[in-house]
Amino acid sequence: MKNPPHLWPILLALTLPLAGCATGGGTQTGAHTHLSATQCSDLTAVRNGAPTTRELNKSELAALGEAGYHPALGFDPYYPANLQAAQRQVDLWYQAECPQAQSH
């Protein structure tokens, strides 16, 4: 069966990402970290009771976003459960990836 010409771009768009997955494309070499050094430092400051700043809030929110928490505009039926789940994930990453956590 011959594919109509208008299907070729669609087939190509679907095939290339799958080929990349099959060959291991897109994977990083070495250990992948979820938190940056700045986020580790900022989370340590928050845990040690540093005064709240805009930068600390933005850093913590970015870490929560990496963990899957994205505050919705308006009503969120999963709040606060989704926030708490993201906080638990960030805590796990903090313990595993941040040297400041391992020294305590």
Structural domain includes residue 88: yes
Contact 72, 9 (CB under 8 A): no
The pLDDT of residue 54 is: 97
What is the pLDDT at residue 27? Answer: 39
Answer yes or no: is 7 within a domain.
no
Asked if residue 64 is part of any domain, the answer here is yes
pLDDT digits (tens, 9 = 90+) for 71-103: 877 788 889 999 999 999 999 999 999 987 766
Tokens at 26, concatenated: 């897109």
5 lies in a domain? no
**Is residue 12 situated within a structural domain?**
no
- Assess if residue 76 is contained within a domain: yes
For residue 8, being part of any structural domain is answered with no
Q: Looking at the domain assignment, is residue 69 inside a domain?
A: yes
pLDDT in tens, 47-80: 999 999 999 999 999 999 999 998 877 788 889 9
* Domain span holding position 68: 37-102
